[in-house]
Amino acid sequence: HLHSKFRLPHLCFVVSSSLVLVTFVLLSCHTCSQTDTDPEPIPRELAHLRRVCEAPSCPAIISLLDWLRDSSRVVLVMELPEPCVNLFRFIRQCGGALEEDQARRIFQQVLVAVQHCHARGVFHRDLKTLNILIQTSTEKAKVIDFGSSSSFHDGHYQSFHGEHRSSRVSPPECVQEKGYQAVPTTAWSLGVMLYHMVSGGAPINLPQDPIISLTSPPECRDLIQKCLAVNPEQRPTIEEIACHKQSLDGAMKTSTHTHAHTHAHCL
């Protein structure tokens, strides 16, 4: 028996004493793609979520439990950890900023999720504190909302045209409607997220000339500054971020099942 908790577009239901998150995705040509296993086109969000949730899955990505389709929409049924809030709210509940070790543990989990997505051929495109769920009892993180996702490749993507990302956290090349690449864009998003966790807000004057005004340890400032380089070619790769001292200190011993950890080009 289902008991509705919230209104559209996200509903929360109790199913056999467990909470699930339900999202309704409207069917439209520009958001659908054809797959080998489906007779009709399905939303890219569903296609990419299925791809990243295939076994072996990643514990830092929301699990797709089921999906249903009617004439105008697709219904996605996903797990909902209890108790949980998004990372933005979690930071506020922790007094406006996280302790360095606390931020590192969450950052490590997001890195594992990013590596898993890229290894599965998925570019999330909208990593931010609102799209990370935190189970408050364990501080386990899960990446959610693949509505802006795209297939991962090394080439250039076209601009978002303002419909997917917030310009406040987007890298300069996206805001200026230039072509952008998956890895530098993700590095920028990770830098903004890390800054938000340790400072409670976004760097000043994003995105054109970010000013890093942190009192955090040098390793943390160094990684943030590298990720927020205005020139995308100067930003680190995901592997370089993962083996940076800021990421490794404490407990960066976790590795994704599907993506070999590379330490050949550490920062």
Predicted local confidence at residue 205, as pLDDT? 73
Among the ranges given (95-109, 193-207, 230-244), the one the predictor scored with the smallest mean pLDDT:
193-207
Dump pLDDT digits (tens) for 67-84.
888 777 788 888 888 889
pLDDT beyond 90 at 91: yes
Ranges of each domain in the chain: 10-79, 84-248
Query: DSSP secondary-structure letter at 39?
Result: S
Q: What is the pLDDT of residue 262?
A: 39
Q: Which residues sit opposite 150 in a β-bridge? A: 123
* pLDDT over 90 percentage in the chain: 49
State the pLDDT at residue 52.
97
CA distance 19 to 4: 10
Query: Is 126 a residue of the active site?
Result: yes
CATH level 3 topology of 10-79: Phosphorylase Kinase; domain 1 (3.30.200)
10-79 and 84-248: identical CATH topology: no
Residue numbering of the annotated binding site for ATP: 79
pLDDT the model gives residue 14: 47
CATH 1.10.510.10 fits 84-248, yes or no: yes
Separation in Å, CA 109 to CA 43, 58, 69, 247: 26, 10, 32, 10
The whole-chain average pLDDT of the chain stands at 80
Distance between CA atoms of residues 246 and 220, nearest Å: 5
Q: Considering only residues 123 and 166, tell me which one the structure prediction assigns the higher pLDDT.
A: 123
Interhelix angle 182-199/218-227, rounded to 10 degrees, is 140
Count the neighbouring beta carbons within 10 Å of the beta carbon of residue 138.
10
Read off the pLDDT of each residue in 124-146 and give the average, rounded to a whole number: 95
Contacts of 18 (CB under 8 A, 6+ apart): 79
Task: Find the length of the chain.
Answer: 267
* Catalytic residue selected from 38, 66, 126, 222: 126
What are 136-193's pLDDT values in tens digits? 999 999 999 998 999 999 999 986 544 455 666 789 888 777 789 999 999 999 999 9
